[in-house]
């Protein structure tokens, strides 16, 4: 991007997440971190900006936006997802009041820029395509209001994110991205609308350089591969990336990885073995529902005609803890769905079970269908775990809301929650690389002993689990404590959301 004469001070701004299940806010306090992950989109955009421009990141999840940040900036680049819209509106109003030029991009704006009249320029879709045209026009003071694209960039040209802009000490994990896009076509998901069906990957050399960069910057903790579906291109994984990661770990890195994948991972023992060997110890999987009718309705073909409990257990036994996404509120759901979901989740030992009410996100096939049927009511909050929905469900609205509330209450009550941890630990094969024990984790353990073991209403479950794990699965003790802390976060979030 050399060649831009203009010199700019760019403030990269990331809005606040609401207090939700995914924020892990109440768990992060135990390890004295402010947020789970840095804003990788903004850090990637920063790397695409001219080198000569000065850049500063303010992620308001980890620190406040100060007046002097605004005074310093010539232009503000703001990102975000729909769940951050409230904070984004507030930040934009502050930047506008300070007279700054505002440039916005990322999923929140790509799917609904019309709601932000105060933004000067929208640079939508993937910045690798739209940003160069904007920068050229901006330099000549001819920038348009909206830059959008229908083509998808080749990630082999994407530069490494500028991690040095993030204050790494404040985050629980770092993130990298190997691929974008997903071969599947679930009707509620906006990933394919934004990133297409053909998984596009970076090269192995790019990934190793990114990981080396993080390591050189002093990062020693876990790293999240934020791919929509990490196993979208199995060949590239098996033949190139995973062998290289195994080699990378051999230099004594000991870095735990986690990611997202589809359930067909369970069909490929070789792929699971390589992933575990490479340091993966956790995977998030969209399971959605144990009901065949619900899976057919949302076109989740890859989950159909399977024994999903057996699949989850196979993945756990391979050494990957499964976190699961679940949905209630499909048209085909009847009031029995709540009990069915609980039964499934308890049996499968998915401790971190993110159960959401179906929401229709703009740009998805679900949104189009509900629009045609005249069933949309208002905007989505973008967070399907806050107990709201933006369409008229087939099930009675009150029954849905009440059933959801009951489900969440039962799922995260200490009894069933701690039972699930045991179910998991019975199956879970030892991961190759587990989270390292360090001073911070030890302090978290001591805090957990006091907050959960003495003052928590789960105290008997807590000590019971620790003793059980100590004798039956001693290597999993750190994981057991981590999951106890997550449970505390989930229960607190349920209370905050009135669930």
Q: For residue 398, count CB atoms less than 10 angstroms from its CB and return exposed for 0-12, middle for 13-18, buried for 19 or more.
A: exposed
Q: Is there binding between residue 261 and ligand SF4 (CB under 6 A)?
A: no
- Alpha helical stretches, state H, 4-81: 25-28, 40-48, 67-72
What binding mask, one character per residue, do residues 220-259 give for ligand SF4 by CB under 6 A, x or -?
A: --------xx------------------------------
Of the candidate spans 120-128, 301-309, 330-338, 371-379, the one that interacts with ligand B12 by CB under 6 A turns out to be 120-128
CA separation for the pair 287, 111 (Å, rounded): 25
Contacting ligand B12 (CB under 6 A), which of 103, 261, 481, 499? 103
Of the candidate spans 98-106, 234-242, 246-254, 481-489, the one that interacts with ligand B12 by CB under 6 A turns out to be 98-106
Distant-in-sequence, close-in-space partners of 101: CB < 8 Å, separation ≥ 6? 74, 75, 76, 120, 121
Q: 130: closest CA among 114, 146, 113, 119?
A: 146
* 138-144: long-range pairs with CB below 8 Å, 24+: 138/6, 139/4, 139/5, 139/6
Contacting ligand B12 (CB under 6 A), which of 92, 131, 261, 287? 131
431: tokens are 């991961």
Q: Is there binding between residue 390 and ligand SF4 (CB under 6 A)?
A: no
CA separation for the pair 464, 172 (Å, rounded): 27
Q: Is there binding between residue 356 and ligand B12 (CB under 6 A)?
A: yes
465: tokens are 């689990």
Which residue bears the tokens 């040209």?
A: 157
Q: Is there binding between residue 17 and ligand B12 (CB under 6 A)?
A: yes
Q: Is there binding between residue 322 and ligand SF4 (CB under 6 A)?
A: no
17 binds, among ligand B12, ligand SF4, none (CB under 5 to 8 A by kind): ligand B12
CA separation for the pair 388, 197 (Å, rounded): 29
Closer residue to ligand SF4 (CB): 262 or 352: 262
Q: Is there binding between residue 123 and ligand B12 (CB under 6 A)?
A: yes
Q: Is there binding between residue 286 and ligand SF4 (CB under 6 A)?
A: yes
Q: Is there binding between residue 485 and ligand SF4 (CB under 6 A)?
A: no
**DSSP per residue over 70-127, as a string?**
HHH-SEEEE---GGGHHHHHHHHHHHHHTT-EEEE-SHHHHTTGGG-TT-SEEE-S-H
CA separation for the pair 82, 409 (Å, rounded): 26
Of the candidate spans 41-49, 74-82, 134-142, 188-196, the one that interacts with ligand SF4 by CB under 6 A turns out to be 188-196
Q: Is there binding between residue 126 and ligand B12 (CB under 6 A)?
A: yes
Q: Is there binding between residue 189 and ligand SF4 (CB under 6 A)?
A: yes
186: tokens are 């679930």
CA separation for the pair 465, 37 (Å, rounded): 29
Contacting ligand B12 (CB under 6 A), which of 11, 45, 272, 337? 45
Contacting ligand SF4 (CB under 6 A), which of 249, 262, 482, 493? 262
CA separation for the pair 37, 41 (Å, rounded): 11
What binding mask, one character per residue, do residues 365-404 give for ligand B12 by CB under 6 A, x or -?
A: -----------------xxxx-------------------
Q: 172: closest CA among 223, 230, 226?
A: 223
Q: Is there binding between residue 16 and ligand B12 (CB under 6 A)?
A: no
Q: Is there binding between residue 266 and ligand SF4 (CB under 6 A)?
A: no
Under DSSP, the state recorded for 145 is S
Distant-in-sequence, close-in-space partners of 77: CB < 8 Å, separation ≥ 6? 10, 11, 12, 13, 42, 45, 103, 104, 105
262 binds, among ligand SF4, ligand B12, none (CB under 5 to 8 A by kind): ligand SF4
Q: Is there binding between residue 175 and ligand SF4 (CB under 6 A)?
A: no
Contacting ligand B12 (CB under 6 A), which of 127, 245, 318, 483? 127
**179-180 vs 257-261, strand pairing mode:** unpaired
Closer residue to ligand SF4 (CB): 232 or 414: 232
CA separation for the pair 57, 270 (Å, rounded): 41
Minimal distance in Å, beta carbon 208 to ligand B12? Answer: 18
Q: Is there binding between residue 383 and ligand SF4 (CB under 6 A)?
A: no
Minimal distance in Å, beta carbon 304 to ligand SF4? Answer: 12
Query: Which residues within the stretch 159-188 sit at the binding site for ligand B12 (CB under 6 A)?
Result: 175, 177, 180
Minimal distance in Å, beta carbon 228 to ligand SF4? Answer: 4
Please work out the total of residues on this chain that contact ligand B12, with binding judged by CB under 6 A: 47
230 binds, among ligand SF4, ligand B12, none (CB under 5 to 8 A by kind): none
Minimal distance in Å, beta carbon 259 to ligand SF4? Answer: 12
Q: 435: closest CA among 391, 479, 471, 399?
A: 479
Using CA atoms, how far residue 341 sits from 230, 360, 384, 386, in Å, is 25, 21, 16, 18
450: tokens are 């006091």
What binding mask, one character per residue, do residues 428-457 give for ligand B12 by CB under 6 A, x or -?
A: ------------------------------
Binding site for ligand SF4 (CB under 6 A): 182, 184-186, 189, 191-192, 228-229, 262, 286
Binding site for ligand B12 (CB under 6 A): 17-18, 20, 22-23, 36-42, 44-45, 77-79, 81-83, 103-108, 111, 123, 126-128, 131, 175, 177, 180, 189-191, 195, 226, 228, 356, 361, 382-385
């Amino acid at each position: 991007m050399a060649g831009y004469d203009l010199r700019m001070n760019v403030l990269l701004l990331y809005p606040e997440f609401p207090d939700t299940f995914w924020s892990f806010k109440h768990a992060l306090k135990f390890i004295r971190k402010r947020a789970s992950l840095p804003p990788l989109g903004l850090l990637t955009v920063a790397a695409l900006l001219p080198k000569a421009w000065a850049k500063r990141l303010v992620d308001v999840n980890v620190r406040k936006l100060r007046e002097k940040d605004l005074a310093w900036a010539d232009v503000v680049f703001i990102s975000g997802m729909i769940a951050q819209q409230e904070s984004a509106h507030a930040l934009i109003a502050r930047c506008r009041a300070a007279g700054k030029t505002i440039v916005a991009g990322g999923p929140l704006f790509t799917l609904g820029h019309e709601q932000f009249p105060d933004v000067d320029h929208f640079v939508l879709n993937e910045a690798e395509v739209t940003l160069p045209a904007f920068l050229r026009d901006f330099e000549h003071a001819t920038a348009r209001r909206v830059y959008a694209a229908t083509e998808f960039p080749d990630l082999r040209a994407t530069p490494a994110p500028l991690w040095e802009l993030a204050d790494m000490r404040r985050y629980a994990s770092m993130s990298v991205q190997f691929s974008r896009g997903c071969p599947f076509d679930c009707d509620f998901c906006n990933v394919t609308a934004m990133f297409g069906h053909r998984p596009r990957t970076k090269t192995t050399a790019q990934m190793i350089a990114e990981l080396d960069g993080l390591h050189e910057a002093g990062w020693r903790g876990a790293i999240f591969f934020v791919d929509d579906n990490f196993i979208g291109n199995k060949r590239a994984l098996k033949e190139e990336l995973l062998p290289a990661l195994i080699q990378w770990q051999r230099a004594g890195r000991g870095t735990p990885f986690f990611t997202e994948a589809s359930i067909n991972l369970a069909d490929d023992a070789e792929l699971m073995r390589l992933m575990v060997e490479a340091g993966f110890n956790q995977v998030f999987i969209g399971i959605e529902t144990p009901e065949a009718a619900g899976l057919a309705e949302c076109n989740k073909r890859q989950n159909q005609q399977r024994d999903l409990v057996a699949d989850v257990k196979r993945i756990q036994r391979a050494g990957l803890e499964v976190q699961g996404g679940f949905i209630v509120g499909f048209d085909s759901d009847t009031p029995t769905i709540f009990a069915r979901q609980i039964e499934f989740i308890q049996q499968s030992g998915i401790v971190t079970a993110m159960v959401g009410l179906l929401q229709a996100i703009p740009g998805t096939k679900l949104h189009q269908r509900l629009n045609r049927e005249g069933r949309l009511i208002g905007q989505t909050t973008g967070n399907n775990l806050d107990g709201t929905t933006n369409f008229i469900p087939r099930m009675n609205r009150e029954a849905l809301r009440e059933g959801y509330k009951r489900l969440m209450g039962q799922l995260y009550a200490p009894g069933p929650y701690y039972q699930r941890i045991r179910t998991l630990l019975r199956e879970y094969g030892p991961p190759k690389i587990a989270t390292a024990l360090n001073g911070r984790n030890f302090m978290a353990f001591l805090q957990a002993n006091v907050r959960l073991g003495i003052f928590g209403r789960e105290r008997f479950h807590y000590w019971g689990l620790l003793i059980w794990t100590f004798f039956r699965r001693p290597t999993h003790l750190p994981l057991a404590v981590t999951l106890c802390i997550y449970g505390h976060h989930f229960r607190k979030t349920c209370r905050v959301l009135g669930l």
